[in-house]
Amino acid sequence: MKQYIVSCIQRLKSYSKQLDGETILYNKKWWIFNDVGEAEVFIFRPNNDLLLSRNGVVTKGKWTLNGADATLLVEFDKISYLYQPAFIDNNLLAFNLYGTKENIIMIDEQNKDNFQPRTLNELNKYFEDKEKLLLEEKRKLEQLLLGQKLEDEKNQKKVLLEQKRNSYVYHNPEYIKIEEYIDNKDGLLLVVCFLVFVVPLIAVAIVANNGIKPELKIPIISAAGVILILLIYLIIRTVKKISEKKRELKDLEKKLSAEFDRKNNLH
């Protein structure tokens, strides 16, 4: 198995996928990169048997994956090699021979038709292009996150400013006074509307009472009619006052908002 020094592979380590024996290594044919034309293939079996085919000649060995740091121990002919993951993507596995700068590159047979570097220069170019692509993706992600952060800060400032504006407007003494006036009038309007409904019922009940002298029924109905007219007049007057005060309140709200914006140089 030839091992190679690949210039930028260490810089790609932070972008690497995690090594998982069951989902990545098991029962696949891994072509070992070399630039001398030999056909070398690794087959990792779940029982820790490791088959190395070199130009069709198979040698049997052992492999162990340490789950703590994903180091890979490979043994052939009583000689053991300790590798640590250097870079893993959808095309290849790159393992660094522990304590050295040398690497073994393995390519999934399923990707071999589309990805088959024949020289070290081609392999280096793949890693260089990969690094450029990942750096560009990182830059775009950072720009996206920065833009989102700026947008969030802008929205946060907008919400805070709106809260301050509302506090300035709705805690204004004049605004509170008008609101209280409207609330009181709304209460009065509710009572008067109730009386408009109740007075005719009381008048009808009194007139229908056989104990009431006939000569009193007409005055009672007349009095109820007068009261009803007065109540309706009061409703109209109250509604008008409430409408006027609501318009006044709206105008005051606009005035105070504009005043707040001027004080905070928002125009």
**CATH code where residue 103 lies:** 2.40.128.640
Same domain as 176, residue 119: no
Q: pLDDT tens digits, the chain, 267 residues: what are they?
A: 667 677 667 777 666 766 666 667 887 889 998 888 888 999 998 888 999 999 989 999 999 988 777 888 999 988 999 998 888 888 888 889 998 888 898 998 888 878 888 888 888 888 888 889 888 998 999 999 999 999 999 999 999 999 999 999 999 999 999 999 999 999 999 999 999 989 888 888 887 776 677 777 788 888 889 999 999 999 999 999 999 999 999 999 999 999 999 988 876
**Count of the separate structural domains present in the chain:** 2
In a domain, 157, yes or no: no
CA distance 158 to 154: 6
Helix 214-263 and helix 120-170, axial crossing angle in degrees, nearest 10: 130
Same domain as 28, residue 131: yes
In a domain, 219, yes or no: yes
In a domain, 162, yes or no: no
Same domain as 106, residue 188: no
Same domain as 199, residue 111: no
- DSSP annotation string for the chain: ---B--TTTGGGGGGPPPP-IIIIIBT-EEEEP-SS---EEEEE-TTSEEEEEETTEEEEEEEEE-TTT--EEEEETTEEEEEEEEEE-SSEEEEEETTSS-EEEEEEGGGTTT----SHHHHHHHHHHHHHHHHHHHHHHHHHHHHHHHHHHHHHHHHHHHHHHHHHHHT-HHHHHHHHHHHHHHHHHHHHHHHHHHHHHHHHHHHH-TTS-HHHHHHHHHHHHHHHHHHHHHHHHHHHHHHHHHHHHHHHHHHHHHHHHHHTT--
Same domain as 185, residue 131: no
Q: Which of 26, 55, 13, 25 is nearest to 38 (CA)?
A: 55
Q: Structural domain of residue 241, as residue ranges?
A: 172-263
Same domain as 21, residue 131: yes
The 10 Å Cβ neighbour count of residue 243 is: 11
Q: Half-sphere exposure of 84 toward its Cβ, with a 13 Å CA cutoff?
A: 9
Same domain as 113, residue 23: yes
- Using an 8 Å Cβ cutoff, are 190 and 183 in contact? no
In a domain, 53, yes or no: yes
Q: Tokens for 77?
A: 């002919």
Same domain as 105, residue 61: yes
CA distance 26 to 46: 6
| pLDDT, position 53 | 93
CA distance 123 to 137: 21
In a domain, 148, yes or no: no
Same domain as 246, residue 180: yes
Same domain as 110, residue 185: no
Q: Tokens for 19?
A: 């090594």
| pLDDT, position 7 | 65
In a domain, 159, yes or no: no
Regarding pTM above 0.85, the answer is no
Same domain as 201, residue 125: no
Going by their DSSP bridges, the two strands 79-88 and 72-76 should be labelled as antiparallel
| pLDDT, position 183 | 95
Same domain as 244, residue 187: yes
| Distance, first Cα to last Cα, the chain | 73
